Structure 1
């Protein structure tokens, strides 16, 4: 390397990074849909339904959880509930759109499922002591009995303590929940007239004296629309689109929260599916965008996910234990211009009872991007990763700002005397100062999985 190129490399490492943004879709290791964000104790918990990799139509068996404190890096928290949570339900499909809410230190998950022999959905409720679960069946039976419209429950607790449960496609229904959140009082009421452009996926909440009902707009294609009211039960006034109807989406489901002074809308698209095939399958992917309410409380039209995203809030501290499944982007879906999208080559996650969620199936040239890592002025001297099942030639290259950016260090992950056991592997690093996106690039021979990674940290 000549002096000019050497100087350029040093400048690239030291140069400040522009504010990072969420990479939409924000989850790449699985197909996810029906986002249901919950803010609790300074963390955004994002509950999703989950489309199986081989889904053609809807094939959904469980509900997953992701979390973030910066809106750009999302940590896979694994399965928090599944059809097995409700053993009286059909176990082969129909784990559809959930929502979770907290009350009196308990967390309640509402979800539509099916019962054998019944042609209609029911709404079930599960409960947990923490937002990460595990959730347990609260009733042993449906909360809402079988009916044609019983999908997509959304719940909100008003200022006076009264909780409301809304749901439905194509009609919208509501009921008042009791304080125990697992029973209701009074009639189940059909909302009439139907909200303009309403189809499904309601998201009900209150903000600064206004009640909001966001929803998936009339199929097909679906966008995201919303209505407002001065009362929790309406009447509702249609206000327009948040996301336009778009031919790239035959479905949608909004989730809206305020977090650290900003407002965010979640929804989904079929971008990952169409990256793999021109054929439509029910394999969806969640995205997020930041927005600002207008002075009168209305929401602007954001048009579509390819035009908006969410800036990273703050930075990631690399000197604390970081779960390896904390990811801004990973190569399970390739964006590289010189290669086609490739679902087979890349990183995914797995879960077991002892370790929890960890990164697995890291193949040669696959990578994990972690956004906005702040190494500080003095920088890091070493990097430690907790690994298992490493192939003898497996390495982890640490790059700044790009997969081929300045090399900070290389971890020799194998060989291991007991490869199946979790072990720490440490490498010296240099040039890791300031704020940068971190790329962990996996290298090794063959097309098989090279290594499993549980966590990592840099050390001063």
Structure 2
């Protein structure tokens, strides 16, 4: 099959591919395990880990950030932290699950990294003035020194302003945080995870750390703590390996906890399922990861999300996995404001930069690459479109609604960032928008942003 035939097929198949594969996983440009959503204002921030493309075990060097305002289009916000942020941590690896929160205008990102003084994972905390960073090590040492099972931090601020930090694999520990969010205000307390009434019946499961079968209750790792009304919830990866998602509740943050059952089954293609739920704009969403991306698996995992509704009694229903993910956006995308090129609902063949800071762009754009944005509101129609690009070998960008090309941008080999404008065919209302990239076999160009003009 020659290149022209391949591109013609690609253009015709994009819409059907989007329908077939849906939107889970929600990030396709890299692997994004252990999603930790946080709502601030009208934006949902998604803090994730990062499995390397060639990982054969847990190969994780840094942490990533994405945002959404509509729950269907996700924008890459960079690599705000890495193991290099923490001098006490093993460098270039072991950047494990994390969770972030804002307080008093500061952002605190609690991470699990290998404490080289203990040769076990401990809990560190990075601090920044904005969610995108830059972050610095808040105290220059682990907040919780390394110990067996000291991973997967979850941070929670109660109604009275008291903050808590939970964490643990094959055990569950917690402590009060100081008002400064970078100190412990209490001793470390251990939750009785052997209690069947609190975390489910004992079953024989394989323990990957001990590498043997043992009798365990439901709790495995990945606590996710929040409060709803007068009830505290803790969601967690359960049941040993492979993991499913379960939850327990309590009327006090100190327990006793009561097991409430399974929330999600074992993830597709992954023996772990780390995640948690959040309310955003009056709707509830459960985040988790699986191994469903191409070349994915237990060490190359990707963030997913499902919408759910609490039962009338406050219980969480069983939440099935879907390829579609969030079926209805919470709002439409406005194309008449600057749209970052790294904003998308689905994509093929694209990568983003791996920079810190606030400026980011699409890379690795080749012939046949594409991205789709959902629920773009064209209103009464645009007259033109402007893009910001810098060329490599050069190529074209086709902006498509369904099978109709509404605008074409020709990109030269100009290696400086520059703007290009082109007319847009009349299109009204709300549609999905696909950007299809054409050119020769070399890398075509890099793409910063685009904007429709009335």
TM (normalized to structure 1)?
0.87
SS of alignment partner, residue 256 of structure 1 = strand
- Conserved 8 A contact 2:78-2:355: no
1:266 aligns with 2:261: no
1:228 aligns with 2:249: yes
Distance across 2 between alignment mates of 1:420 and 1:376 = 34
Unaligned runs of 5+ in 1: 1-18, 332-345
- 1:339 maps to none
- Conserved 8 A contact 1:22-1:288: no
Shift of 1:80: 1.0
- 1:253 maps to 274
Distance across 1 between alignment mates of 2:173 and 2:35 = 20
SS of alignment partner, residue 330 of structure 1 = strand
- Conserved 8 A contact 1:31-1:284: yes
Between Structure 1 and Structure 2, how many residues are aligned? 414
Shift of 1:22: 7.2
- Conserved 8 A contact 2:267-2:290: no
Q: Of the candidates 420, 424, 432, which is equivalent to residue 415 of structure 2?
A: 420
1:55-70 equivalent positions in 2, closer than 5 A? 55-70=55-70
1:391-410 equivalent positions in 2, closer than 5 A? 391-392=393-394, 394-401=395-402, 405-410=403-408
Q: Return structure 1 stretches of 4+ with deviation > 6 angstroms.
A: none
TM (normalized to structure 2)?
0.88
The superposition leaves residues 101-121 of structure 1 with CA deviations (integer Å, 9 ceiling, x where unpaired) of 111111111111112252321
- 1:340 maps to none
Q: 321-330 or 117-126: which moved more?
A: 117-126
- 2:367 maps to 364
Provide closer, same or farther for how the CA distance between residues 386 and 351 of structure 1 changes in structure 2, counting only shifts above 3 A: farther
Provide closer, same or farther for how the CA distance between residues 367 and 400 of structure 1 changes in structure 2, counting only shifts above 3 A: same
Distance across 2 between alignment mates of 1:395 and 1:193 = 57
Provide closer, same or farther for how the CA distance between residues 32 and 360 of structure 1 changes in structure 2, counting only shifts above 3 A: same
1:163 aligns with 2:163: yes
- Conserved 8 A contact 2:269-2:290: yes
Provide closer, same or farther for how the CA distance between residues 116 and 353 of structure 1 changes in structure 2, counting only shifts above 3 A: closer
The superposition leaves residues 155-210 of structure 1 with CA deviations (integer Å, 9 ceiling, x where unpaired) of 10101111111100111001111111111122211101432211111100001111
Q: 352-361 or 318-327: which moved more?
A: 352-361
Q: Of the candidates 298, 307, 323, which is equivalent to residue 290 of structure 1?
A: 307
Unaligned runs of 5+ in 2: 1-18, 201-217
- Conserved 8 A contact 1:290-1:311: no
Provide closer, same or farther for how the CA distance between residues 154 and 438 of structure 1 changes in structure 2, counting only shifts above 3 A: same
Provide closer, same or farther for how the CA distance between residues 351 and 169 of structure 1 changes in structure 2, counting only shifts above 3 A: closer
Shift of 1:431: 2.6
The superposition leaves residues 192-232 of structure 1 with CA deviations (integer Å, 9 ceiling, x where unpaired) of 14322111111000011110000111222112111111111
Distance across 1 between alignment mates of 2:387 and 2:190 = 55
Distance across 2 between alignment mates of 1:414 and 1:235 = 65
Provide closer, same or farther for how the CA distance between residues 247 and 71 of structure 1 changes in structure 2, counting only shifts above 3 A: closer
Provide closer, same or farther for how the CA distance between residues 351 and 49 of structure 1 changes in structure 2, counting only shifts above 3 A: closer
Q: Of the candidates 336, 343, 352, which is equivalent to residue 349 of structure 1?
A: 352
CA RMSD of aligned residues (A): 1.8
